[in-house]
Amino acid sequence: MNIKPERSLTDIFGQLIDQVTRLIRNESALARAEIGESISNIAGNLTMLVAGIVLLLPGVIILLEAIVAALVRGGMSEPWASLLIAAITLIGGYVCISMGINRLKSLSLVPKETIKQLQLDVAVVQEAGKQHHDA
């Protein structure tokens, strides 16, 4: 008959510490990967934003000049036509910048998946400790 000796409390505690240490290492690696992915997404989006602005800016300026010229040909004085188009353009630009800032603020670098997993891990460890204490 093969009888297994019961493990000592120090063996169980040592194994628990090893497992928790491994778990923390794995979770911190997950957090670093998640944060790195968020930073990569933000950098890629900002790069595309800057490229778009650089490409669109000359076209928008020429278009605005054409609108001013059309208003002048339609009978509006040049200073008033320029002022009207400048005001409309500034308002539109302000709205776009405000929306962009709000969207950037909504992006989070907090590793939500890692935090969620850590909370689950803590709950499991607490439950295991409670069950062991009750036994």
Q: How far apart are CA 122 and CA 135, in angstroms?
A: 20
Q: What is the pLDDT of residues 95-124, one digit of tens each?
A: 999 998 888 887 766 777 777 877 787 777
pLDDT beyond 80 at 42: yes
What Cα–Cα distance (Å) separates residue 10 from each residue in 6, 22, 44, 130? 12, 18, 51, 17
Q: Where are the beta strands (DSSP E) in 21-116?
A: none
pLDDT score at 22: 86
- With CA atoms as reference, report the closest residue to 85 among 54, 61, 53, 109: 61
Q: Where are the domains of the chain?
A: 29-134
Please state the pTM of the whole predicted model: 0.47
Digit-coded pLDDT (tens) for 58-98? 999 999 999 999 999 999 999 999 999 999 999 999 999 99
Nearest to 31 by CA among 112, 107, 108: 112
